[in-house]
Structure 1
Protein backbone atom coordinates (compact mmCIF):
# COMPACT_ATOMS: atom_id res chain seq x y z
CA UNK A 1 0.00 0.00 0.00
CA UNK A 2 1.46 3.34 -1.10
CA UNK A 3 1.81 6.28 1.25
CA UNK A 4 -0.90 8.17 -0.70
CA UNK A 5 -3.38 5.41 0.11
CA UNK A 6 -2.20 5.28 3.72
CA UNK A 7 -2.89 9.01 4.05
CA UNK A 8 -6.37 8.62 2.53
CA UNK A 9 -7.21 6.05 5.22
CA UNK A 10 -6.15 8.56 7.90
CA UNK A 11 -3.37 6.26 9.07
CA UNK A 12 -0.56 8.79 8.72
CA UNK A 13 -0.57 12.17 10.48
CA UNK A 14 -0.28 15.18 8.18
CA UNK A 15 2.14 16.75 10.66
CA UNK A 16 4.79 14.14 9.81
CA UNK A 17 6.66 14.93 6.62
CA UNK A 18 7.38 12.10 4.21
CA UNK A 19 10.46 11.75 2.00
CA UNK A 20 11.07 11.16 -1.70
CA UNK A 21 14.51 9.67 -1.08
CA UNK A 22 15.24 6.14 -2.20
CA UNK A 23 15.74 3.55 0.52
CA UNK A 24 17.83 0.39 0.72
CA UNK A 25 18.22 -1.16 -2.75
CA UNK A 26 17.37 -4.73 -1.75
CA UNK A 27 14.05 -3.52 -0.25
CA UNK A 28 13.12 -1.06 -2.99
CA UNK A 29 13.76 -3.71 -5.65
CA UNK A 30 11.05 -6.00 -4.19
CA UNK A 31 8.38 -3.36 -3.69
CA UNK A 32 9.13 -1.76 -0.31
CA UNK A 33 9.32 2.02 -0.71
CA UNK A 34 10.91 4.39 1.79
CA UNK A 35 8.48 7.13 2.86
CA UNK A 36 9.67 8.34 6.27
CA UNK A 37 13.08 8.88 7.88
CA UNK A 38 12.90 8.98 11.67
CA UNK A 39 15.53 9.81 14.25
CA UNK A 40 16.38 6.14 14.79
CA UNK A 41 14.43 4.14 12.21
CA UNK A 42 12.99 4.35 8.69
CA UNK A 43 9.53 3.37 7.45
CA UNK A 44 8.72 1.71 4.12
CA UNK A 45 5.36 1.15 2.47
CA UNK A 46 4.74 -2.52 1.64
CA UNK A 47 3.73 -4.26 -1.57
CA UNK A 48 0.08 -5.38 -1.62
CA UNK A 49 -3.14 -3.90 -0.27
CA UNK A 50 -2.75 -4.50 3.48
CA UNK A 51 -2.47 -1.49 5.79
CA UNK A 52 0.98 -2.28 7.12
CA UNK A 53 4.44 -0.77 7.06
CA UNK A 54 8.00 -2.01 7.34
CA UNK A 55 10.10 -0.51 10.13
CA UNK A 56 13.87 -0.72 9.60
CA UNK A 57 15.97 0.24 12.62
CA UNK A 58 19.21 2.06 11.99
CA UNK A 59 22.20 2.53 14.30
CA UNK A 60 21.32 6.22 14.58
CA UNK A 61 20.98 7.44 18.15
CA UNK A 62 19.16 10.40 19.68
CA UNK A 63 18.40 11.74 23.15
CA UNK A 64 16.11 14.50 24.46
CA UNK A 65 14.34 14.27 21.04
CA UNK A 66 17.47 15.85 19.53
CA UNK A 67 18.62 14.37 16.19
CA UNK A 68 22.33 13.60 16.45
CA UNK A 69 25.06 12.73 13.96
CA UNK A 70 25.78 9.75 16.22
CA UNK A 71 25.63 6.09 15.22
CA UNK A 72 26.46 3.14 17.47
CA UNK A 73 27.28 0.20 15.25
CA UNK A 74 25.09 -2.84 15.90
CA UNK A 75 22.61 -1.11 18.22
CA UNK A 76 19.74 -1.27 15.73
CA UNK A 77 19.95 -5.05 15.42
CA UNK A 78 20.00 -5.56 19.19
CA UNK A 79 17.13 -3.09 19.65
CA UNK A 80 15.05 -5.01 17.11
CA UNK A 81 15.62 -8.29 18.95
CA UNK A 82 14.62 -6.72 22.28
CA UNK A 83 11.55 -5.16 20.66
CA UNK A 84 10.50 -8.53 19.22
CA UNK A 85 10.96 -10.10 22.65
CA UNK A 86 8.82 -7.42 24.32
CA UNK A 87 6.07 -7.82 21.75
CA UNK A 88 6.08 -11.61 22.18
CA UNK A 89 5.90 -11.22 25.97
CA UNK A 90 2.85 -8.96 25.60
CA UNK A 91 1.19 -11.34 23.13
CA UNK A 92 1.67 -14.27 25.51
CA UNK A 93 -0.16 -12.15 28.09
CA UNK A 94 -3.08 -11.81 25.69
CA UNK A 95 -2.32 -8.24 24.57
CA UNK A 96 -2.25 -7.33 20.88
CA UNK A 97 0.68 -5.34 19.51
CA UNK A 98 1.21 -3.41 16.29
CA UNK A 99 4.19 -5.69 15.55
CA UNK A 100 3.02 -8.43 13.19
CA UNK A 101 4.11 -12.05 13.45
CA UNK A 102 4.96 -12.20 9.75
CA UNK A 103 8.44 -11.10 8.66
CA UNK A 104 10.32 -10.08 5.56
CA UNK A 105 12.42 -12.66 3.73
CA UNK A 106 15.09 -13.90 6.15
CA UNK A 107 17.58 -14.04 3.28
CA UNK A 108 17.60 -10.24 3.10
CA UNK A 109 20.77 -8.66 4.49
CA UNK A 110 18.66 -6.08 6.35
CA UNK A 111 16.34 -8.73 7.90
CA UNK A 112 17.70 -8.45 11.51
CA UNK A 113 16.68 -4.78 11.58
CA UNK A 114 13.15 -5.27 10.22
CA UNK A 115 9.69 -5.43 11.76
CA UNK A 116 6.42 -5.53 9.87
CA UNK A 117 3.94 -3.27 11.62
CA UNK A 118 0.17 -2.91 11.44
CA UNK A 119 -0.73 0.68 10.61
CA UNK A 120 -2.99 2.07 13.31
CA UNK A 121 -4.39 5.34 14.59
CA UNK A 122 -3.27 6.74 17.97
CA UNK A 123 -5.75 6.22 20.80
CA UNK A 124 -7.56 9.48 21.54
CA UNK A 125 -10.12 10.59 24.11
CA UNK A 126 -11.64 13.72 25.59
CA UNK A 127 -10.04 14.58 28.92
CA UNK A 128 -11.05 17.84 30.62
CA UNK A 129 -12.75 19.04 27.40
CA UNK A 130 -9.68 18.47 25.25
CA UNK A 131 -9.05 15.61 22.80
CA UNK A 132 -5.63 14.17 23.59
CA UNK A 133 -3.34 11.25 22.76
CA UNK A 134 -1.61 9.37 25.55
CA UNK A 135 1.62 8.04 26.98
CA UNK A 136 0.71 5.54 29.70
CA UNK A 137 3.54 5.30 32.21
CA UNK A 138 3.91 2.85 35.10
CA UNK A 139 6.53 3.33 37.81
CA UNK A 140 7.96 0.94 40.39
CA UNK A 141 10.19 3.52 42.05
CA UNK A 142 10.14 7.19 42.97
CA UNK A 143 12.68 8.96 40.79
CA UNK A 144 12.95 11.36 37.87
CA UNK A 145 10.26 13.94 37.20
CA UNK A 146 7.88 12.46 39.79
CA UNK A 147 10.53 12.83 42.50
CA UNK A 148 11.06 16.46 41.48
CA UNK A 149 7.32 17.11 41.66
CA UNK A 150 7.02 15.52 45.12
CA UNK A 151 9.95 17.49 46.48
CA UNK A 152 8.34 20.70 45.23
CA UNK A 153 4.93 19.90 46.70
CA UNK A 154 3.36 19.36 43.27
CA UNK A 155 0.80 16.61 42.59
CA UNK A 156 0.52 16.52 38.77
CA UNK A 157 -1.27 13.14 38.61
CA UNK A 158 -3.63 13.47 41.59
CA UNK A 159 -1.87 10.67 43.49
CA UNK A 160 -1.74 12.30 46.95
CA UNK A 161 1.72 10.89 47.69
CA UNK A 162 3.27 11.58 51.11
CA UNK A 163 5.76 14.44 50.91
CA UNK A 164 8.40 12.62 52.96
CA UNK A 165 9.10 9.81 50.47
CA UNK A 166 12.78 9.39 49.55
CA UNK A 167 14.33 8.82 46.15
CA UNK A 168 14.13 5.17 45.04
CA UNK A 169 11.19 4.49 47.33
CA UNK A 170 9.57 1.29 45.98
CA UNK A 171 5.82 1.44 45.52
CA UNK A 172 3.85 -1.56 46.73
CA UNK A 173 1.67 -1.32 43.62
CA UNK A 174 3.07 0.35 40.49
CA UNK A 175 2.06 3.99 40.13
CA UNK A 176 0.18 4.99 37.00
CA UNK A 177 1.32 8.41 35.75
CA UNK A 178 -0.24 9.17 32.32
CA UNK A 179 0.67 12.15 30.16
CA UNK A 180 -0.43 13.60 26.87
CA UNK A 181 1.66 12.74 23.82
CA UNK A 182 2.88 15.73 21.87
CA UNK A 183 5.60 18.31 21.59
CA UNK A 184 5.36 18.65 25.36
CA UNK A 185 4.12 15.80 27.55
CA UNK A 186 1.55 17.18 30.00
CA UNK A 187 0.64 15.16 33.14
CA UNK A 188 -2.95 13.90 33.34
CA UNK A 189 -5.05 12.95 36.34
CA UNK A 190 -4.37 9.26 36.91
CA UNK A 191 -7.89 8.33 38.04
CA UNK A 192 -9.59 10.14 35.14
CA UNK A 193 -7.56 8.17 32.60
CA UNK A 194 -8.23 4.91 34.49
CA UNK A 195 -11.96 5.67 34.45
CA UNK A 196 -11.80 6.42 30.70
CA UNK A 197 -9.95 3.18 29.80
CA UNK A 198 -10.51 0.74 32.69
CA UNK A 199 -9.86 -2.45 30.69
CA UNK A 200 -6.76 -1.07 28.96
CA UNK A 201 -5.15 0.26 32.14
CA UNK A 202 -5.84 -2.89 34.19
CA UNK A 203 -4.40 -5.06 31.40
CA UNK A 204 -1.28 -2.91 31.12
CA UNK A 205 -0.77 -2.84 34.89
CA UNK A 206 -0.84 -6.65 35.00
CA UNK A 207 1.58 -6.81 32.04
CA UNK A 208 3.95 -4.39 33.79
CA UNK A 209 3.81 -6.35 37.07
CA UNK A 210 4.38 -9.68 35.32
CA UNK A 211 7.29 -8.29 33.31
CA UNK A 212 8.84 -6.69 36.40
CA UNK A 213 8.86 -10.09 38.14
CA UNK A 214 10.12 -11.89 35.03
CA UNK A 215 12.97 -9.40 34.52
CA UNK A 216 13.98 -9.36 38.18
CA UNK A 217 14.39 -13.13 38.19
CA UNK A 218 16.79 -12.67 35.27
CA UNK A 219 18.88 -9.95 36.88
CA UNK A 220 17.14 -6.76 35.72
CA UNK A 221 15.32 -4.17 37.84
CA UNK A 222 12.56 -2.46 35.86
CA UNK A 223 12.29 1.12 37.10
CA UNK A 224 9.43 2.24 34.87
CA UNK A 225 7.97 1.83 31.40
CA UNK A 226 5.90 3.78 28.92
CA UNK A 227 3.13 2.24 26.79
CA UNK A 228 1.65 3.87 23.69
CA UNK A 229 -1.75 2.62 22.57
CA UNK A 230 -3.17 2.61 19.05
CA UNK A 231 -6.43 1.50 17.43
CA UNK A 232 -6.32 -0.86 14.45
CA UNK A 233 -8.65 -1.09 11.46
CA UNK A 234 -10.90 -3.50 13.40
CA UNK A 235 -11.32 -0.97 16.21
CA UNK A 236 -9.18 -3.00 18.62
CA UNK A 237 -6.60 -1.38 20.89
CA UNK A 238 -3.02 -2.49 20.34
CA UNK A 239 0.36 -1.70 21.89
CA UNK A 240 2.76 0.39 19.80
CA UNK A 241 6.12 -0.65 18.42
CA UNK A 242 8.27 -0.02 21.54
CA UNK A 243 7.02 -2.54 24.08
CA UNK A 244 9.10 -3.24 27.21
CA UNK A 245 12.35 -2.12 25.58
CA UNK A 246 15.19 0.22 26.65
CA UNK A 247 13.61 2.82 24.36
CA UNK A 248 10.43 2.84 26.43
CA UNK A 249 11.70 1.69 29.83
CA UNK A 250 14.48 2.12 32.34
CA UNK A 251 16.38 -1.06 33.21
CA UNK A 252 19.10 -1.38 35.85
CA UNK A 253 21.25 -4.47 36.42
CA UNK A 254 20.04 -6.05 39.65
CA UNK A 255 23.56 -6.34 41.08
CA UNK A 256 24.14 -2.62 40.43
CA UNK A 257 20.79 -1.66 41.96
CA UNK A 258 21.55 -3.64 45.11
CA UNK A 259 24.84 -1.72 45.42
CA UNK A 260 22.89 1.56 44.96
CA UNK A 261 24.40 2.19 41.54
CA UNK A 262 21.29 3.43 39.73
CA UNK A 263 22.70 3.91 36.21
CA UNK A 264 20.34 2.45 33.61
CA UNK A 265 21.56 -0.09 31.04
CA UNK A 266 20.36 2.06 28.17
CA UNK A 267 20.52 5.57 26.75
CA UNK A 268 20.64 7.10 30.24
CA UNK A 269 24.40 6.81 29.88
CA UNK A 270 24.21 9.00 26.77
CA UNK A 271 21.67 11.34 28.38
CA UNK A 272 24.04 11.95 31.28
CA UNK A 273 26.90 12.64 28.85
CA UNK A 274 24.69 14.94 26.76
CA UNK A 275 23.50 16.80 29.83
CA UNK A 276 27.07 17.39 30.94
CA UNK A 277 27.92 18.55 27.41
CA UNK A 278 24.94 20.96 27.30
CA UNK A 279 23.37 19.40 24.18
CA UNK A 280 19.91 20.84 24.86
CA UNK A 281 21.25 24.38 24.72
CA UNK A 282 23.31 23.64 21.61
CA UNK A 283 20.28 22.11 19.87
CA UNK A 284 18.28 25.34 20.12
CA UNK A 285 20.18 26.70 17.11
CA UNK A 286 19.42 23.69 14.89
CA UNK A 287 17.39 24.30 11.74
CA UNK A 288 14.73 21.86 10.52
CA UNK A 289 16.37 18.68 9.26
CA UNK A 290 19.73 19.45 10.84
CA UNK A 291 21.53 17.13 13.24
CA UNK A 292 23.57 18.17 16.24
CA UNK A 293 27.25 17.43 15.68
CA UNK A 294 28.50 15.62 18.79
CA UNK A 295 31.72 13.88 19.73
CA UNK A 296 31.04 10.85 21.90
CA UNK A 297 34.01 8.83 23.22
CA UNK A 298 34.28 5.19 22.22
CA UNK A 299 34.01 4.07 25.87
CA UNK A 300 30.57 5.70 26.13
CA UNK A 301 29.39 4.02 22.90
CA UNK A 302 30.76 0.66 24.07
CA UNK A 303 29.05 1.01 27.45
CA UNK A 304 25.68 1.73 25.81
CA UNK A 305 26.04 -1.21 23.42
CA UNK A 306 27.08 -3.47 26.28
CA UNK A 307 23.97 -2.42 28.22
CA UNK A 308 21.63 -3.29 25.35
CA UNK A 309 23.42 -6.61 24.82
CA UNK A 310 23.14 -7.47 28.52
CA UNK A 311 19.40 -6.70 28.51
CA UNK A 312 18.80 -8.98 25.52
CA UNK A 313 20.98 -11.77 26.94
CA UNK A 314 19.30 -11.73 30.35
CA UNK A 315 15.72 -11.47 29.09
CA UNK A 316 16.28 -14.24 26.57
CA UNK A 317 17.84 -16.81 28.92
Structure 2
Protein backbone atom coordinates (compact mmCIF):
# COMPACT_ATOMS: atom_id res chain seq x y z
CA UNK A 1 0.00 0.00 0.00
CA UNK A 2 1.22 3.49 -0.81
CA UNK A 3 2.40 5.37 2.28
CA UNK A 4 1.14 8.89 2.84
CA UNK A 5 3.76 11.60 2.32
CA UNK A 6 3.44 13.79 5.41
CA UNK A 7 6.98 15.21 5.61
CA UNK A 8 9.45 16.56 3.08
CA UNK A 9 13.08 17.48 3.58
CA UNK A 10 14.60 18.22 0.20
CA UNK A 11 17.67 20.23 -0.69
CA UNK A 12 17.23 21.59 -4.20
CA UNK A 13 20.03 23.34 -6.13
CA UNK A 14 19.84 27.06 -5.39
CA UNK A 15 17.49 26.52 -2.45
CA UNK A 16 17.39 29.50 -0.09
CA UNK A 17 14.48 28.78 2.24
CA UNK A 18 11.78 26.24 3.08
CA UNK A 19 8.37 26.86 4.62
CA UNK A 20 6.30 24.01 6.05
CA UNK A 21 2.62 24.93 6.04
CA UNK A 22 -0.37 22.99 7.30
CA UNK A 23 -0.59 20.94 4.10
CA UNK A 24 1.91 22.35 1.60
CA UNK A 25 5.69 22.68 1.83
CA UNK A 26 7.19 25.55 -0.15
CA UNK A 27 10.85 25.65 -1.20
CA UNK A 28 12.35 28.93 -2.38
CA UNK A 29 14.81 28.59 -5.26
CA UNK A 30 16.85 31.74 -5.76
CA UNK A 31 14.84 34.96 -5.69
CA UNK A 32 12.24 34.24 -8.35
CA UNK A 33 11.06 30.62 -8.13
CA UNK A 34 9.02 28.51 -5.72
CA UNK A 35 8.59 24.74 -5.58
CA UNK A 36 5.31 23.89 -3.84
CA UNK A 37 4.70 20.32 -2.70
CA UNK A 38 1.16 19.33 -1.74
CA UNK A 39 1.69 16.70 0.96
CA UNK A 40 -0.80 14.13 2.21
CA UNK A 41 -1.15 15.91 5.56
CA UNK A 42 -4.65 16.64 6.88
CA UNK A 43 -5.46 19.97 8.51
CA UNK A 44 -8.77 20.54 10.28
CA UNK A 45 -9.70 23.56 12.41
CA UNK A 46 -6.08 24.78 12.18
CA UNK A 47 -4.78 21.48 13.61
CA UNK A 48 -2.56 19.06 11.66
CA UNK A 49 -3.78 15.50 12.26
CA UNK A 50 -1.24 12.76 13.05
CA UNK A 51 -1.82 10.65 9.93
CA UNK A 52 -2.21 11.58 6.30
CA UNK A 53 -4.28 10.24 3.41
CA UNK A 54 -2.38 8.60 0.54
CA UNK A 55 -2.72 10.48 -2.78
CA UNK A 56 -4.46 13.45 -1.15
CA UNK A 57 -1.62 15.77 -2.15
CA UNK A 58 -1.74 14.59 -5.75
CA UNK A 59 -5.47 15.27 -5.94
CA UNK A 60 -5.14 18.76 -4.43
CA UNK A 61 -2.25 19.73 -6.66
CA UNK A 62 -3.77 18.40 -9.87
CA UNK A 63 -7.11 20.12 -9.23
CA UNK A 64 -5.29 23.42 -8.68
CA UNK A 65 -3.12 22.85 -11.75
CA UNK A 66 -6.12 22.10 -13.98
CA UNK A 67 -7.98 25.24 -12.96
CA UNK A 68 -4.90 27.44 -13.27
CA UNK A 69 -4.56 26.23 -16.85
CA UNK A 70 -8.29 26.72 -17.47
CA UNK A 71 -8.27 30.35 -16.30
CA UNK A 72 -4.94 31.56 -17.68
CA UNK A 73 -6.83 33.68 -20.22
CA UNK A 74 -8.54 35.59 -17.38
CA UNK A 75 -5.61 36.38 -15.11
CA UNK A 76 -1.88 35.59 -15.22
CA UNK A 77 -1.01 32.86 -12.72
CA UNK A 78 2.09 31.79 -10.88
CA UNK A 79 2.37 28.29 -12.39
CA UNK A 80 5.38 27.50 -14.57
CA UNK A 81 5.25 23.69 -14.53
CA UNK A 82 3.93 20.65 -12.67
CA UNK A 83 6.76 18.12 -12.99
CA UNK A 84 5.18 15.67 -10.52
CA UNK A 85 1.53 15.08 -9.52
CA UNK A 86 2.28 16.54 -6.08
CA UNK A 87 4.46 19.44 -7.23
CA UNK A 88 3.99 22.83 -8.84
CA UNK A 89 6.90 25.09 -9.78
CA UNK A 90 6.03 28.73 -10.13
CA UNK A 91 6.81 32.42 -9.95
CA UNK A 92 7.57 33.85 -6.53
CA UNK A 93 5.26 36.80 -5.83
CA UNK A 94 4.62 39.13 -2.92
CA UNK A 95 1.22 37.92 -1.66
CA UNK A 96 -1.58 40.35 -0.97
CA UNK A 97 -2.56 40.28 2.70
CA UNK A 98 -6.18 39.44 1.94
CA UNK A 99 -8.00 36.40 0.62
CA UNK A 100 -10.79 36.97 -1.88
CA UNK A 101 -13.71 34.83 -0.73
CA UNK A 102 -16.69 34.84 -3.08
CA UNK A 103 -20.09 33.33 -2.31
CA UNK A 104 -22.85 32.37 -4.72
CA UNK A 105 -25.16 31.05 -2.01
CA UNK A 106 -25.84 31.79 1.64
CA UNK A 107 -24.54 28.76 3.49
CA UNK A 108 -21.87 27.76 5.99
CA UNK A 109 -20.54 30.50 8.25
CA UNK A 110 -22.51 33.17 6.36
CA UNK A 111 -25.77 31.37 7.09
CA UNK A 112 -24.87 30.79 10.74
CA UNK A 113 -24.33 34.51 11.23
CA UNK A 114 -27.50 35.35 9.31
CA UNK A 115 -29.50 32.90 11.43
CA UNK A 116 -28.26 34.72 14.55
CA UNK A 117 -29.77 37.92 13.20
CA UNK A 118 -26.64 39.47 11.69
CA UNK A 119 -27.50 41.29 8.47
CA UNK A 120 -24.08 42.61 7.47
CA UNK A 121 -21.25 40.53 6.07
CA UNK A 122 -17.89 42.15 5.38
CA UNK A 123 -19.58 45.53 5.13
CA UNK A 124 -22.35 44.27 2.83
CA UNK A 125 -26.00 44.47 3.87
CA UNK A 126 -28.02 41.28 3.40
CA UNK A 127 -31.77 41.36 2.74
CA UNK A 128 -34.35 40.04 5.18
CA UNK A 129 -36.11 36.75 4.62
CA UNK A 130 -33.30 34.72 3.09
CA UNK A 131 -33.34 30.93 3.41
CA UNK A 132 -30.42 28.58 3.99
CA UNK A 133 -28.64 27.70 0.73
CA UNK A 134 -30.51 30.41 -1.17
CA UNK A 135 -28.69 31.80 -4.20
CA UNK A 136 -27.61 35.43 -4.08
CA UNK A 137 -28.86 37.57 -6.96
CA UNK A 138 -25.22 38.49 -7.56
CA UNK A 139 -22.24 36.64 -6.02
CA UNK A 140 -20.85 38.43 -2.96
CA UNK A 141 -17.15 39.05 -2.35
CA UNK A 142 -16.53 38.65 1.39
CA UNK A 143 -12.76 39.04 1.88
CA UNK A 144 -10.77 37.90 4.88
CA UNK A 145 -7.41 38.83 6.30
CA UNK A 146 -4.58 36.44 5.49
CA UNK A 147 -3.29 35.34 8.89
CA UNK A 148 0.19 33.84 9.26
CA UNK A 149 -1.10 31.98 12.31
CA UNK A 150 -4.57 31.27 13.67
CA UNK A 151 -7.85 32.19 12.01
CA UNK A 152 -8.44 34.54 9.11
CA UNK A 153 -10.87 37.33 9.99
CA UNK A 154 -13.66 38.86 7.92
CA UNK A 155 -12.90 42.37 6.71
CA UNK A 156 -14.71 44.86 4.50
CA UNK A 157 -13.55 46.36 1.23
CA UNK A 158 -13.42 49.79 2.88
CA UNK A 159 -11.29 48.53 5.78
CA UNK A 160 -8.83 46.84 3.43
CA UNK A 161 -8.24 50.06 1.52
CA UNK A 162 -8.28 52.32 4.61
CA UNK A 163 -5.73 50.14 6.41
CA UNK A 164 -3.45 50.08 3.38
CA UNK A 165 -3.57 46.30 3.06
CA UNK A 166 -4.23 46.71 -0.67
CA UNK A 167 -4.35 49.89 -2.73
CA UNK A 168 -7.72 50.89 -4.15
CA UNK A 169 -6.48 50.39 -7.70
CA UNK A 170 -5.19 46.89 -6.97
CA UNK A 171 -8.27 45.94 -4.98
CA UNK A 172 -10.59 46.95 -7.79
CA UNK A 173 -8.56 44.73 -10.11
CA UNK A 174 -8.72 41.85 -7.62
CA UNK A 175 -12.50 42.22 -7.54
CA UNK A 176 -12.71 42.05 -11.34
CA UNK A 177 -10.52 38.96 -11.45
CA UNK A 178 -12.50 37.32 -8.63
CA UNK A 179 -15.86 37.79 -10.34
CA UNK A 180 -14.49 36.54 -13.66
CA UNK A 181 -12.83 33.49 -12.10
CA UNK A 182 -15.99 32.59 -10.20
CA UNK A 183 -18.05 32.87 -13.38
CA UNK A 184 -15.65 30.55 -15.21
CA UNK A 185 -15.67 28.11 -12.29
CA UNK A 186 -19.47 28.18 -12.17
CA UNK A 187 -19.65 27.35 -15.88
CA UNK A 188 -17.11 24.52 -15.57
CA UNK A 189 -18.94 23.04 -12.58
CA UNK A 190 -22.30 23.21 -14.39
CA UNK A 191 -20.84 21.22 -17.29
CA UNK A 192 -20.31 18.35 -14.81
CA UNK A 193 -23.69 18.73 -13.12
CA UNK A 194 -22.16 20.47 -10.11
CA UNK A 195 -22.74 23.79 -8.35
CA UNK A 196 -19.88 26.06 -7.32
CA UNK A 197 -21.28 27.35 -4.04
CA UNK A 198 -18.35 29.45 -2.85
CA UNK A 199 -14.58 29.56 -3.03
CA UNK A 200 -11.60 31.80 -2.40
CA UNK A 201 -8.77 33.11 -4.52
CA UNK A 202 -5.35 34.33 -3.42
CA UNK A 203 -3.29 36.77 -5.44
CA UNK A 204 0.23 38.14 -5.43
CA UNK A 205 2.22 40.77 -7.25
CA UNK A 206 5.60 40.80 -8.94
CA UNK A 207 7.15 43.65 -10.91
CA UNK A 208 3.85 45.52 -10.87
CA UNK A 209 1.90 42.56 -12.29
CA UNK A 210 -0.87 40.72 -10.43
CA UNK A 211 -0.82 36.91 -10.43
CA UNK A 212 -3.27 34.29 -9.23
* Short-chain TM bin: 0.7 to 0.9
Q: Identify the residue that residue 175 of structure 1 maps to in structure 2.
A: 140
- Pairing 1:35–2:9 present: no
Match of 1:161 among 113, 117, 126: 126
Question: In angstroms, what is the RMSD of aligned CA positions?
Answer: 2.4
Structure of higher CA gyration radius: 1
- Pairing 1:187–2:154 present: yes
State the alpha-carbon separation in 2 of the partners of residues 45 and 190 from structure 1. 31
State the alpha-carbon separation in 2 of the partners of residues 175 and 103 from structure 1. 32
When the two structures are aligned, how many residues end up with a matched partner?
195
Q: Identify the residue that residue 53 of structure 2 maps to in structure 1.
A: 72
State the alpha-carbon separation in 2 of the partners of residues 177 and 58 from structure 1. 29
State the secondary structure of the residue aligned to 1:219: coil
In 2 relative to 1, CA 199–45 (structure 1 residues): closer, same or farther, beyond 3 Å? closer
Match of 2:77 among 76, 97, 112: 97
Gaps of 5+ in 1: 1-20, 105-110, 124-132, 240-317
TM-score by length of 1: 0.56
Q: Deviations over 1:258-279 (max 9, x none)?
A: xxxxxxxxxxxxxxxxxxxxxx
Q: Deviations over 1:233-252 (max 9, x none)?
A: x121111xxxxxxxxxxxxx
Q: Identify the residue that residue 84 of structure 1 maps to in structure 2.
A: 65
Measure how far apart 1:44 and its partner are: 2.3
Q: Identify the residue that residue 196 of structure 2 maps to in structure 1.
A: 222
Measure how far apart 1:187 and its partner are: 1.9
**Paired residues for 1:98-113 under 5 Å:** 98-100=78-80, 102-104=81-83, 111-113=84-86
Measure how far apart 1:151 and its partner are: 1.9
- Pairing 1:139–2:109 present: no
Gaps of 5+ in 2: 1-6, 162-166
Q: Deviations over 1:271-317 (max 9, x none)?
A: xxxxxxxxxxxxxxxxxxxxxxxxxxxxxxxxxxxxxxxxxxxxxxx
Which of the pair is proportionally richer in helix? 1
Measure how far apart 1:193 and its partner are: 5.5
| Contact persistence 2:23–2:39 (CA under 8 A) | yes
TM-score by length of 2: 0.82
Q: Identify the residue that residue 175 of structure 2 maps to in structure 1.
A: 201
In 2 relative to 1, CA 184–39 (structure 1 residues): closer, same or farther, beyond 3 Å? closer
Measure how far apart 1:22 and its partner are: 7.7
State the secondary structure of the residue aligned to 1:79: helix
